[in-house]
Amino acid sequence: MLIFKPTGIKRNFYLVLIKQRKKMPLNPSQQSAVNKTSGPCLIFAGPGTGKTYTLVEKIKHLIASGKFKPNEILALTFSVEAANSLKKEVAKEIGNAEQITIKTFHS
């Protein structure tokens, strides 16, 4: 994710804006994807729509619900960049992220 820091904004204020953005509630479509726990789930949306955030929340939900162990979760993305971004975000949120398989369709 590329974030531009506008000139003239103090660092602390800028960090608060980033933290608030991450805590925004899921929209109804995102919440529906997070809550789906049976069968595969395809999240298909344009750039900047919160796909990575939705996937991270879904993975957290699957583990917290007790229905899945981390080693039973497979997340596939279309690009190496997206897979690496997802791995990084999952690692921040979940301590045992290395057990979750996050790959591209091409690997």
CA–CA separation, 67 vs 91, rounded Å?
20
The proportion of the chain whose per-residue pLDDT surpasses 90, expressed as a percent, equals 44
SS3 103: strand
Of the candidates 5, 94, 12, the one whose C-alpha atom is nearest the C-alpha of residue 55 is 94
pLDDT for position 95: 76
Quote the tokens at residue 86: 């997802």
pTM of the complete model: 0.73
The tens digit of pLDDT for each residue in 22-65 reads: 567 899 999 999 999 888 888 888 888 889 999 999 999 999 99
Element (H, E) at 74: strand 74-77
